[in-house]
Copies of this chain bind each other. A is one copy, B any other.
């Protein structure tokens, strides 16, 4: 894989070095894209899966008055439009937020993996399931949590996802979003996002400045956002590290032992 294309770091639990070699043969040349640039339009036919080598992007839908709801934030190392691999087009728009580097993987090449490397093929299914879990959790976040908690929860997610890729340490992470963007991600107005951010700041939990979130109290932030990260399906070592840093039993603590039920039958 050419310099800079670091799939192995992005999904350490899913792609081993052999996989990465194999994938290196499949992608086209990386492309630089400006900030605030639409990558994919809802409903438009696409033939390549985009791997976000660097930079941030967002998936969103617009309401009928043109206001935007972010569905998920995509961080460096994400495949950002895998659904298109199986259905050929997307039900939402995708745009960069910061300047970005995108690596196109032609669908055809990925499809061929089913024959040539079925294990690897399955990994893409796993990636898209992880994606789905992130969407689900977004519904929980905006549906159930109050303003301050929504932002704290959102920050905690972005932290955990970047931390899992070694893109940041426990003290902070990159988040090149405006307060308006954060509002659109968390389902609130920019003004209110501002007020909630200043609450988090004055409570000594975190500060956002210059596209960087500095974390002053990670357990406090996670608590404020009722954050539990089991839905990220992180590999065990990283999961343990997060548990150590955050404290709460929000991870796999709840995963049950091997004696669990195996079907609906058992729960009659």
Q: Which residues of A contact B (CB under 8 A)?
A: 28-29, 31-34, 37-39, 41-48, 50, 59, 61, 63-64, 67, 69, 71-72, 82-83, 86-87, 89, 91-92, 102, 104, 114-115, 118, 122, 125-126, 128-129, 131-133, 135-140, 142-145, 186-187, 226, 230-231, 233, 252, 254-258, 260-265, 267-268
Contact = CB atoms under 8 A, between A and B. Distances in A.
Given A47-B262, A63-B144, A262-B46, A86 B136 contact: no
B142 A45 contact: no
A232 to B, nearest CB: 8
A119 to B, nearest CB: 10
Contacts of A267: 33, 37-39
Given A104-B263, A132-B132, A139 B268 contact: no
A231 to B, nearest CB: 4
A111 B254 CA distance: 26
Contacts of A42: 230, 254
